[in-house]
Amino acid sequence: MTEQGYGRNKLIALVSNSAWAVYNFRLDIIRYLYSQGYRILVVAPDDDYSPLLAAEGCTYVPVDFNNRSENPLRDLKLYYRLQAIYRRYRPDFIFHYVIKPNIYGTLAAAACSIQSVAVVTGLGYSFARKNWLYRTVRMLYKRALRRASEVWFLNNDDATRFANEGIVRVEKMKVLPGEGLNTEHFQPVEKLSAPNKRPFRFIMSTRLLRSKGISTYAAAAGILKKKQYSVELELIGFF
């Protein structure tokens, strides 16, 4: 069998909380899988990047869910919606990304007897403090990840915490050194000559959450301003 025909007629599903994330972070993986003969199913909320994924040849199925919702009825609806999608398309393997696909998608895949990997890209705000939300998410994660074939982490700290808290067995865990970067697409532009006395500019790009260090960045800005440094500080991110 040729290398290109290895995955012929096999369907790989990628399930995430946004088409934007799939397109920007996993497009090279999709193209590689295509080169090996696989077909690709993307399940994610509809956004401006959905047509771009379809243009790449993916079968795109929209699923409506709010990653910050704490409504159990909506989460149950997500579970049954994913289960219905998996039963209809019967993917040979599924990759789940971020918390709700990791939990409800893994459970739905297990109910359909489909192997899956849960990719923990970060712990999120639910692990920021040990309250009722943390305890609920920890319990759901522990139950769901028992049904995953493997659990992949992007840093050792998250993997260590899941192991220490007994959320997942160590033998199921793998730590990736990041998800990779397309160095042909993300290239530094030629450095421009700055005008004289141009303020030094800082840019912080992140989701606007306290756990991401927003308040620390603001405090640092205040210190620099009080010391009368010639600086500009910008903040870029989603509310």
**Segments making up each domain of the chain, as ranges:** 3-175, 200-236
> Is residue 137 scored above 60 in pLDDT?
yes
Is pLDDT at 1 greater than 50 in this prediction? no
For the cut 90, the answer to whether the pLDDT of residue 71 exceeds it is: no
pLDDT bin (cut points 50, 70, 90) of residue 2 is very low
Question: E strands along the chain, which residues?
Answer: 11-15, 39-44, 59-62, 93-97, 116-120, 150-153, 173-175, 200-205, 231-236
Fold classified for 3-175: Rossmann fold (3.40.50)
Helix (H) or strand (E) holding 29: helix 19-35
Return the HEC string of 79-144.
Answer: HHHHHHHHHHHCCCEEEEECHHHHHHHHHHHHHCCCCEEEEECCCCHHHCCCCHHHHHHHHHHHHH
Q: Which of 167-171, 190-194, 200-204 has the lowest mean pLDDT?
A: 190-194
The predicted-structure confidence for 218-228, as pLDDT tens digits, reads as follows 999 999 989 98
Radius of gyration of the chain (CA): 21
Tell me which range, 23-27, 63-67, 84-88, is most confidently predicted by mean pLDDT.
84-88
Locate 34 and state its tokens: 């295509």
**Is 145 exposed, middle or buried, given 0-12, 13-18 or 19+ CB atoms closer than 10 A?**
buried
- Distance between CA atoms of 123 and 148, rounded to whole angstroms? 17
> Which of the given ranges, 58-67, 125-134, 203-212, 218-227, has the highest pLDDT on average?
218-227
User: Average pLDDT over the chain, rounded to whole?
Assistant: 86
More confident residue, 3 or 61: 61
Mean pLDDT of 217-238: 90
- Give the range among 23-27, 79-83, 129-133, 202-206 with minimum mean pLDDT: 129-133
**pLDDT score for 184:** 80
Burial class of 135 by CB neighbour count within 10 A (0 to 12, 13 to 18, 19+)? exposed
Spatial separation of the C-alpha atoms in residues 203 and 194, rounded to whole Å: 17
Could you tell me the maximum CA-CA distance found in the chain, to the nearest angstrom? 68
Hey, how many other C-beta atoms are within 10 angstroms of the C-beta on 66? Answer: 13
